[in-house]
Amino acid sequence: MPHSPQWTSSAAAESARLTRAIRDTLLTVHHIGSTAIPGICAKPILDLIPVFTRIESADSARPILEQLGYAFWGEYGLLGRRYCTFDDPVTKRRTIQLHCYAAGNPEITRHLAFRDYLLAHPDIAQAYAAEKRRCQSLHPLDSHAYSDCKGEWIQRVEQEGLRSRVEDQAD
């Protein structure tokens, strides 16, 4: 669906709710994914990266996360990540996905580099929106095939974003 400014405020509100609930070991929460990029279409599901002091701290926070309404899925196929989902209690639709990592995990840098690169290059963000529409038209009923379809494009732009990040740090 078209970008909604509500996504940014909802991500900030959820980040604050998580931070209040998990005070001691939660360092920060990043808003990533298409909902973090103004002007492009997205599924209306917030992707957040809570960054913990250690990955075991995310495991220890499981009861708190579940009390907040999250389903805790563990690594869910990605080593070093803890994946959690939040479904709206009324509509039963997924509204938030947490990709929990320990500070220093390179996956955080990868996700932030992609997001920041798209934010800094609106033309590339629009190209991403076009790629998403193309893949959705090819795979309207298969989310895995849709993800695979846009995967090569994402990896290429992630690499550009990581290179740009390194160059910015060198300056």
- Domain ranges in the chain are 1-104, 106-171
Q: What pTM does this model have?
A: 0.94
For the structural domain made of 1-104, what CATH number should be given? Answer: 3.30.460.10
For 96-148, write each residue's pLDDT tens digit.
999 999 999 999 999 999 999 999 999 999 999 999 999 999 999 999 999 99
User: Does the pLDDT of residue 169 top 80, yes or no?
Assistant: no
CATH class of 106-171: alpha beta
Fold identical between 1-104 and 106-171?
A: yes
Residues whose CB is less than 8 angstroms from the CB of residue 56 and which lie 6 or more positions away in sequence, other chains included: none
- Kindly report the number of other CB atoms within 10 A of residue 144's CB atom: 8
Q: In 3D, which of 48, 32, 40 has the Cα closest to residue 5?
A: 40
DSSP state of 146: H
